[in-house]
Amino acid sequence: MSSTETRTFEMAKEAILSMRNDGTPTDTMQYYNQWAQNYEQDMELIGFRAPIMAAEHVSAHFTGERQTAVVLDVACGTGWVAKMMKREGFQHFVGVDCSEGMLQRARHTGLYRELKMAVLGEQPLPVPSGEYEIVIIAGALSSSHLPAYVIRELCRAAKQGGLICMTGKCDRENINYRASLESEIKHMEDAGLWRCVNVTYVKEWQLGLTEHERGYIPGCVYLFQKL
């Protein structure tokens, strides 16, 4: 597929639904390597709002110095989140992703001081503990991508007092995963690892792609502060 190809909603839908939910981490990596050149265009076609919603929620609650804060962008993909965060005044980014194809796109943005490859769920985040004022993961928290317990790695990477922003779909197909995620969130709250800053339910998160999803499906933005 050419990166100059004009994409349609049906093409985007086909690309997204072709991902195997029962695939291995290697399958996921290869899928994203092939999809990287069309990823942002396809996600825009389905009305995907996670990057902009994550950036706006962090911006609304961050009280530190934006020009010096370092943002850890987990599952950074092509660098979409960093572009949105740049609009909000943030300047320093470190990215982690499982796909070299996606990381190549992210490098071309010129926004990241460092980009690292890791298969989360099988490997820890390849970053120091307690290093980042902001940690963001936008869009990868689903049953086809990452186990819910990886959010502990996000918290580990954040500085004390730092913000951790996570997004996820709230559609019917993600019900069980969302329950696991929110259970893990609660365990971490009870353990005193972080506190809830804000949880926002978004009615129009992206366009539905399956026959039982008509119009937009909902999503959620979770924002926590490390204790």
Are the beta carbons of 82 and 111 closer than 8 angstroms? yes
Distance CA 211, CA 49 (A): 21
Domains parsed from the chain with CATH numbers: 47-226 (3.40.50.150)
The dihedral region occupied by 139, where left means phi > 0, alpha psi between -120 and 50, and beta the remainder, is left
Query: Cα 112 to chain center, whole Å?
Result: 16
pLDDT in tens, the chain (227 residues): 344 578 999 999 999 888 766 667 778 888 899 999 999 999 999 999 999 999 999 999 999 999 999 999 999 999 999 999 999 999 999 999 999 999 999 999 999 999 999 998 889 999 999 999 999 999 888 877 888 999 999 999 999 999 999 999 888 878 899 999 999 999 999 999 999 999 999 999 998 888 777 789 999 999 999 99
